[in-house]
Amino acid sequence: MLHLVSVDTSEEADEISQRFHASGVPVFVEPDLTRTDPSVRSAAFGHRIHIWLEEQLDDAKRLLRDPQYEVVAPLMSQSSMAPWISMTLEAKGLGTGLKRSGSIGWRASAPLA
């Protein structure tokens, strides 16, 4: 996974995630606890968005800047990628605390190590 961008709100994260999913660029969203208020330990004030494949980095950057950009080599849908994503995460020891978030991608309940 490659970090693409950090955003301030869940709404921003959902919009980007939905746009990328529709364009064939699978993403992973996790809370950004680097921007957490120390007095409220459980509150995340942002989200980090990652792409799964390095090969899609250029497309992802362009799609982030231009919502109308057409991805050169879109991947299959995330639902058909789910087994591959799960195996990849488990192999890296990152499978706990993840859940599918509807059709918009994967979300972590806590930051990944």
Is pLDDT at 2 greater than 50 in this prediction?
yes
Give the residue, 97 or 8, on which the prediction is more confident: 8
pLDDT at 97: 52
Q: What is the pLDDT of residues 27-79, one digit of tens each?
A: 989 888 776 666 555 555 789 999 988 999 999 999 999 999 999 988 865 55
Sorted by where each begins, the domain ranges of the chain are 2-108
Q: Give the model's confidence band at 93: pLDDT under 50 very low, under 70 low, under 90 confident, else very high.
A: low
SS3 of 88, please? helix
The pairing of strands 27-31 and 106-108 is parallel
User: CB–CB of 47/95 below 8 Å?
Assistant: no
SS3 of 96, please? coil
Angle at 28 between CA 27 and CA 34, to 5 degrees: 130
